[in-house]
Structure 1
């Protein structure tokens, strides 16, 4: 297998890395992440103009990329800058719409790609424990003559939920709470009667929200795909998100590694750089090997993204497990190698470490994906 990026992807990576390093420095990122909005509308528009969103979709859906390695290139660059703009949900929602939407719904893709509209994924629930099929939010056929469906339930940790104009909502329309059958996806306007949003700051920067739906009335045109058959679309779209998170983590690991190497070369003890101490050299060498292992897992997942379902999901879970384990290791080792200064808020490294730890908890943590990997192997 050829692991080298195509010339187009190399150019994309160079462009994105240059933009992030020049326009999204740590002070800029920290100000944006701690702001009341949690992201920058201006920079979101500039990212769109650069083609960073378009690279996540294929030509048939208004983009110019869309492959697993395109996702990896974009999100690795985002990870290097700890970018907090709504790329992840735009990817997940957009890929779901591209896969199962009708012509009218696919018109939304143009607005997602040009950055003029934000649609958030509202899937996770307080008691779901990362299980993709565990959906207790309910949608029933309306009996009042005012709409086809009545939607009720609560969704947790909806990224950028306060600023989304609509939500992609998973709801159960039949079967048991943990069954793959009976899940339906709905596109729900933010301003629909019965939708309420409570926003809050995230520990690693940016904002999320709790979203509740109280007898929200929806027509059949809100259903994405076929009613009761939304699990396959949800699994594929969230799989794209898992690949994106893993790629973001690799970018963040590379920066944390570079900062740590620089510190070891410049910090002196007993008149010599501490990087000359053999014990620290061994720890750093072990860390570099682990990061390359994480990179290999991401490459494998990117190559499998458009493959057979069993191969795709197994590769994605393997990558997410690896990222969870190695990300925590990188965070711990880099902070320890920096000594006490590694924990200070003013040092960018502390923010990279925090983001690596939090990535493990998005879309399934290390334990969840290890169990899933084993289950998929048994199947």
Structure 2
């Protein structure tokens, strides 16, 4: 199978890599972290100018005709730089929910605003009791004529404190864990009855706890069928996990490159520590783990567009398992071979390991997906 990029895709990679090199030095990143929203508004505008925000979307929806490969390219470069902007939340996850749930006229309007950089989204889905079960939704949406009224709370809404709008999952009918009866609602983040409490996450990014008290949603802000939103949620999450795999591979490759460079320059007993055979073997093992993760990144990217939900879920779980294992191994080795410097705030390797750890935990860690894969049967049945 040919994994070579087209000339347009290679140009996209070169452009993103060039932007990250110019604008995302480690000290520059610290300044972005200190901003009120935890990222750079100027860079978000630069993403729009480069076409990154519209890259994965069809041209008829206001995008630039790309897909999962274009998302993979951008996310891998973002992973190397530890980029902070809410590309995953807005373009990948939010965009996927819009593509798979919204009516054509809604889709064209929302995707056009995303591509222009005028709309930042966050998905308000997780609740205290839900864990990683996507069908466990307790926040209610009660009909009020043609409109709906939302009541309840959502937690761990990534970049929820800076989003312009929230895509909210809510229970329209049925019991809390029923698969049917879940709707998706587009809510202005400043709408009456919405209250947000933002906080930093372990990797320095931001999330929010969000409460909804009698929040009225007009019928034209309901995405698709108000009682059949779960398939769109599951598909969007699968596509997001594939994108996270690419971000993780980018972060792992950066950690490996920094470790190898450190082995070449750090001296003990009058020689560089890279001359010690034991450390050479450990670095070689890191290379193997990275290439295993890269292979599963490609597999997840190709599987993200699969219309067969069961086969797609198996492929994504398999990728999540390998990505999690490789991330843990490479992160640990990078920190250990750097020594104490890797544990300081002023050095990038520790931040890479934190981000890799958060990626492993997003939408279920490697152990959870291994169990899911076992329950679903053989990957190649």
Q: TM-score, normalised by structure 2?
A: 0.95
Is 1:127 the equivalent of 2:129?
Answer: yes
- Indicate the SS of the match to 1:215: strand
Is 1:327 the equivalent of 2:327?
Answer: yes
Q: Which residue of the partner structure matches residue 302 of structure 1?
A: 301
Q: Which residue of the partner structure matches residue 110 of structure 2?
A: 108
Deviations 1:300-358 (A, max 9, x none): 01111112222211111111121112111111110000111111111111111111111
CA distance, structure 1, for counterparts of residue 368 and residue 33 of structure 2: 28
CA distance, structure 1, for counterparts of residue 67 and residue 27 of structure 2: 32
Q: Which residue of the partner structure matches residue 75 of structure 1?
A: 75
**Deviation beyond 3 Å, 4+ runs, structure 1:** none
Q: Is the 8 A contact 1:130 1:368 kept in 2?
A: no
CA distance, structure 2, for counterparts of residue 52 and residue 33 of structure 1: 21
- Indicate the SS of the match to 2:237: helix
Q: Which residue of the partner structure matches residue 212 of structure 2?
A: 213
Offset, 1:278: 0.9
- In structure 2, runs of 5+ residues without a counterpart are none
CA distance, structure 2, for counterparts of residue 259 and residue 246 of structure 1: 20
Matches within 5 A, 1:128-147: 128-142=130-144
Q: Which residue of the partner structure matches residue 169 of structure 1?
A: 168
Is 1:374 the equivalent of 2:374?
Answer: yes
Q: Which residue of the partner structure matches residue 97 of structure 1?
A: 98
Offset, 1:217: 1.7
- In structure 1, runs of 5+ residues without a counterpart are none
Q: Is the 8 A contact 2:63 2:111 kept in 1?
A: no
C-alpha change, 1:353 and 1:172, in structure 2 (3 Å) is: same
CA distance, structure 1, for counterparts of residue 350 and residue 240 of structure 2: 24
Q: CA RMSD in A?
A: 1.5
Is 1:262 the equivalent of 2:261?
Answer: yes
C-alpha change, 1:65 and 1:363, in structure 2 (3 Å) is: farther
Q: Is the 8 A contact 1:56 1:70 kept in 2?
A: yes
Q: TM-score, normalised by structure 1?
A: 0.95
Q: Which residue of the partner structure matches residue 26 of structure 1?
A: 26
Aligned pair count? 376
Q: Is the 8 A contact 1:45 1:115 kept in 2?
A: yes
Offset, 1:97: 1.1
CA distance, structure 2, for counterparts of residue 60 and residue 303 of structure 1: 22
